[in-house]
Structure 1
Amino acid sequence: MTETVTKNFVIDFDSTFTSVEALDVLGSISLKDHPEKIERLKKIADVTDLAMSGELSFRESLNQRLQILDAKKEHLPILITMLNKLVSKSFKRNKAFLKEHADHVYILSNGFKEFIFPIVEKYGIKEENVHANTFVFDDLDNIVGFDEDNILSQSKGKPAKIEALKLQGEIHVIGDGYNDYEIRKEGKANRFYAFTENVSRENVVKNADHVAPSLDEILYHNKMEGALSYPKNRIKVLLLENIHENGVKIVKEEGYQIEIYPAGIDEEELCEKIKDVSILGIRSKTMVTKKVLEHANRLMAVGAFCIGTNQIDLTECTKRGIAVFNAPFSNTRSVVELAISEMIMLIRNLPDKIFSMHQGKWDKSAKGSFEIRGKKLGIIGYGNIGKQLSVLAEGLGMNVYYYDLDERLALGNATKCKSLKELLTKVDVVSLHVDGRKSNANVIGKKEFDYMKEGVVFMNLSRGHVVDIKELKKNIESGKIAGTAVDVFPEEPLSNAHEFVSELRGLPNVILTPHIGGSTLEAQENIAEFVPTKIIDYINTGTTTNSVNFPNLTLPILQDAHRFIHVHHNQPGVLANITNTLAKHDINVMGQYLKTNDTVGYVITDINKNYNKEAISDLRKINGTIKFRVLY
């Protein structure tokens, strides 16, 4: 039988346990009204960096900083209040671990115990396990120095202190500075973790046994149970097609490992890039095909930072237990405003007039120019965009007609048409707002153009493949279509660097836009905030609200339990097998949730923290299982 080895975790305080250097914060307090505040704070930061990188002796750096600080005892309670709010996120998350292992958790700092212990004691760390310097005060409670007899005030004080402590078992040092690495360098520790959650120093990282972007990574590396079942820094995210910076920021703040690519990529390249990716973020150009998904060994979720999902093989994603999320409402207003503006431009024949002006031709005439008031607008596809367009167009005085395959309630005074033919024969303006399903290919072709009135305005801001482009061109050239706006195309360039090729180029009174219906800052910001939030909720809690292909399930926040997430083919007996497996291992169920769709079932089970780990293996073996994971 293998004997369990005791592991002692020796943790630095500044920029490790907290996200800041405490003396820098103390300076912002003590120098608040000082005329040289900016210069002094910069000097403190510079001296700190020199010490942390090993370029300045610690004692000299400490002396310099205390002289610059001009601090008093009365400043310390303010400092403590501020530092309480600045504890590193992963330490906050793992408070339970720190308390549970309090006998073997140590704080070893070149900082000062007067402010360190009040912070760490709330995390269960014992006072006798906190080793740091102490201040020296004068009669007026000014901080005038430090205890120079304290071993931690000296260069290489940390290795010397570790030696003096005579800890039994392995010693694992966690820190961000060179003086933390010195413990390992001097042979006084078994392992040094370069902690990079708050700051990454090159000469510290290169000497580390292991780089740890969070405490979660350290616990996972040691096979010890923390707040997360899997460190977030190990979750790889691939973001393509210039995802808005707000979305990138949200993902980064969550602690994921991110790769950003500015354009769409083709199938072969994506097959290579996606192999170890857990989360994929795309817009409209990147095709997530069955072949791509066959190479996606770790993929858990796909985020479409747009409305449509026809660029994603949803059936294959569902079969593989990959949840897909999009932003069905976030850019609705932007698309509608573009449709309204283009409608007005076309009915006034503005594209040709604008072009003529740039050629130096002055063509002041009302010929072929009309108001939209009183005109009949036909909306094909009465979803979120179609409905909002209906309301705004009616507000401008248009008479609105709509057609949709699904039963849709009319808004305002809009009139529902029983057939596409009925709509096309009535209206002056046709605006397409259908989804990207394959059955919508060429929904507007020769027959449909024949139904339209002479002089009609035709607009497609939905999907490229829903219009027969050759027939559209013929009707523009014949003059039957008086004006055209197209924002989406059957084939689109992968990036701005590629040429746009289309038969519609150069035709009269035609507006061609590069798939920018939803490309406003407001829409992109909304999408960038909506999609990552839904994916993060799914990864962290299992919640599938707003998933395109998974049963939608909103789950409570996990409280003092473990959560089993089981995705399976929708077949009889799976839930019973899950329940029997849990009972077989005497696992107490605290809550269970089930939802299915035509393809998959989604079972969430919250259980007590103590359970036989063999249960996980048995749950994975249940017939019909697609994916299984544990959250805690």
Structure 2
Amino acid sequence: MYRIQTLNNISPRGLEHLPRDRYEVASEISNPDAILVRSYKMHDMEIPETVRAIGRAGAGTNNIPVEAMSERGVPVFNAPGANANAVKELVVAGMLMAARNIPQALRFVESIDADDAKAVEDGKKKFAGYELPDRSLGVIGLGAIGVRVANAAYDLGMKVTGFDPKMTVENAWLLSSGVQQSVSVDELCANSQFLTVHVPLIEATQNLINAERIKLMPKGAVILNFARGGIVDEDAVLAALDEGHLHAYICDFPSSKLKAHDKVVALPHLGASTGEAEENCAIMVARQVRDFLENGNVTNSVNFPESVLPRVENEPRLCIANANVPNMVGQITTALAKHDLNIADMLNKSRGNVAYTMVDVDSDIPESVAEELRAIKGVLSVRLLDAPAA
């Protein structure tokens, strides 16, 4: 029986993938094996030593102490792409709001006597906009969301250019052949009437869109940020809006400074706020956490290497996380050989400072072996999994 603690309301559709005969799931639970979370900030939380995995029902993991979990040998899972369609639709809506001056027009209607036909006709002239076809869109970050945004904009007739030096082969296959490639962020900015960012907030992307890059953009350009607030320099954007260099800023991260500006549309973090997205995220992360707890497999972890090794009937498994330093595999296999344990299958992967090894053996593994492995310098965590049922 595995014990799962939920720190937010997780969609029941996701929790259905944790069968009640094997999982106890509750918001208040002692000694959990795993934690499922959405937006709860875990940095100041005392995370029990029993926790073997954390699953974030969403893409970003800024609310989770990932580095501390890595040091404990605990993988942190997320759900990349599960909310991609929801965010894509909001980005397209944002472009339409900016192009047609919809927020300003709505505020105008609220301020007048809407039954006064002359006032309506006279006022609407101030809100004349433009259409999206043949306008240029730059997309920074061509992951699951960025690819969908690029493809949708291309289908609307826009001239789309993307930048992502770390784009995966899988996402490249999904990208429309009509989307062009840019060699740098600066080049992308200089050629984009609309600019949208879809990258994580890390040190390298803090204020990625700053005053210098905004100056490179065409006069009247629009910036959209549905990724993370710190990626775009708010002060630089507001200054550019006041100067008339930017036409609009559409974002999902409100602040008192932003909401006071007439040319800013700041939404309350609605990117993934659809029933479908919440269900998709919960289902994906529940499956991943379950596969890790039961089989040791790692899929879509932000701090562990992708590691999937099919199970074989009657073969127990050792799962070992360790510092990515030389001779760790040698020490592990030596410990197994000392106890006459024959390796039937094995997988070793590394990512950054963390390495992960799964070892299947063809006989029962004594708990003393796991204790011996835990004593090896550099080993972060050891799990002993029973052989899968027939």
Category of TM-score, reference length = shorter chain: 0.7 to 0.9
**Residues in 1 aligned to 2:260 and 2:365: alpha-carbon distance in whole angstroms:** 70
- Residue 148 of structure 2 corresponds to 388
In structure 2, what is the equivalent of residue 492 of structure 1? Answer: none
Using the size of structure 1 for normalisation, the TM-score is 0.55
Please tell me whether residue 531 in structure 1 is matched to residue 285 in structure 2.
yes
Give the secondary-structure state (helix, strand or coil) at the position aligned to 1:475.
helix
Higher relative contact order (CA 8 A, sep 6+): 2
Residue of structure 2 aligned with 1:504, choices 244, 258, 261: 258
Could you tell me which residue of structure 2 aligns to residue 377 of structure 1? 137
- Give the superposition deviation at 1:399: 0.9
Any unmatched runs of 5+ in structure 2? 114-119
Match of 1:12 in 2: none
Report the counterpart of residue 256 of structure 1 in structure 2: 23
2:85 matched residue in structure 1:
333
Aligned-partner Cα distance in 2 for 1:461–1:563: 42
The question of whether the paired residues in 1 share the 8 Å contact of 2:90 and 2:271 is answered with yes
Alpha-carbon contact 1:379-1:401 (below 8 Å) kept: yes
CA distance in 1, matches of 2:353, 2:265: 42
Alpha-carbon displacement from aligned partner over 1:330-350 (angstroms, at most 9, x marks no partner): 111111111111111210001
Q: Indicate conservation of the 8 Å contact 2:36/2:57, yes or no.
A: yes
Measured against aligned partners, the alpha-carbon deviations of 1:288-333 in whole angstroms (never above 9, x if no partner) come to 43x647x431221111111122333333322211111111111111
Answer yes or no: is 1:476 the counterpart of 2:241. Answer: yes
Q: Deviations over 1:602-631 (max 9, x none)?
A: 222223444554333322222322111211
Do the aligned partners of 2:198 and 2:227 also contact (CA within 8 Å) in 1?
yes
Any idea what the Cα deviations from partners look like across 1:375-423, whole Å, max 9, x if unmatched? 1112122222222211111111111122334367573222222332322
Of 319-328 and 402-411, deviating more is 402-411
Q: Aligned partners of 1:296, 1:389: CA distance in 2, in Å?
A: 40
For the residue of structure 1 that corresponds to 2:50, the secondary structure is coil
User: Is the partner of 1:604 in helix, strand or coil?
Assistant: strand
Q: 1:281-296 counterparts in 2 under 5 A?
A: 281-283=36-38, 285-289=39-43, 292=45, 295-296=47-48
Contact conserved, 1:349 with 1:483, CA < 8 A, in 2?
no
Distance 1:407 1:242, change over 3 A: closer
Aligned to 2:94: 342
Which residue does the alignment assign to 1:30?
none
Measure how far apart 1:502 and its partner are.
2.2
CA shift for structure 1 position 370: 0.8
Residue in 1 that maps onto 2:307: 553
- Kept in 2, the 8 Å contact 1:252–1:258? The answer is no
In structure 1, which of residues 335, 360, 364 is the aligned counterpart of residue 124 of structure 2? Answer: 364
Q: How do 1:35-50 and structure 2 match up within 5 A?
A: none
What per-residue deviation string (whole Å, max 9, x for no partner) do you get for residues 264-288 of structure 1? xxxxxxxxx9x833312222x4344
Unaligned runs of 5+ in 1: 1-230, 262-272, 490-500
SS of the residue aligned with 1:412? coil
| Cα deviation 1:247-278 (Å, max 9, x = unaligned) | 234346364333338xxxxxxxxxxx9x8333
1:432 aligned residue: 197
8 Å contact 1:541–1:558 — kept in the other structure?
Answer: no
Which residue matches 2:276? Answer: 522
Give the residue type in structure 2 aligned to 1:536.
R
**Cα gap change, 1:407 to 1:631, in 2 (>3 Å):** closer
Give 3-state SS (helix, strand or coil) of 1:436's partner.
coil
Change in Cα spacing, 1:521 to 1:377, as seen in structure 2 (3 Å) is: same
Q: TM-score, normalised by structure 2?
A: 0.87
User: Is the partner of 1:503 in helix, strand or coil?
Assistant: helix
Letter of the 2:89 counterpart: E
Aligned length: 373
Alignment of 1:180-579 (within 5 A): 231-232=1-2, 235=3, 237-251=4-18, 253=20, 255-260=22-27, 276-283=31-38, 285-289=39-43, 292=45, 295-360=47-112, 362=120, 363-365=123-125, 367-406=127-166, 411-488=176-253, 501-579=255-333
Q: 1:47-66 to 2 correspondence within 5 Å?
A: none
The percent identity for this pair of structures is: 28
Describe the shift of the 1:599–1:613 C-alpha distance in structure 2 as closer, same or farther (beyond 3 A).
same
How big is the shift at 1:461? 0.6
CA–CA separation in structure 2 for the residues paired with 1:377 and 1:611:
57
* Aligned equivalent of 2:381: 627
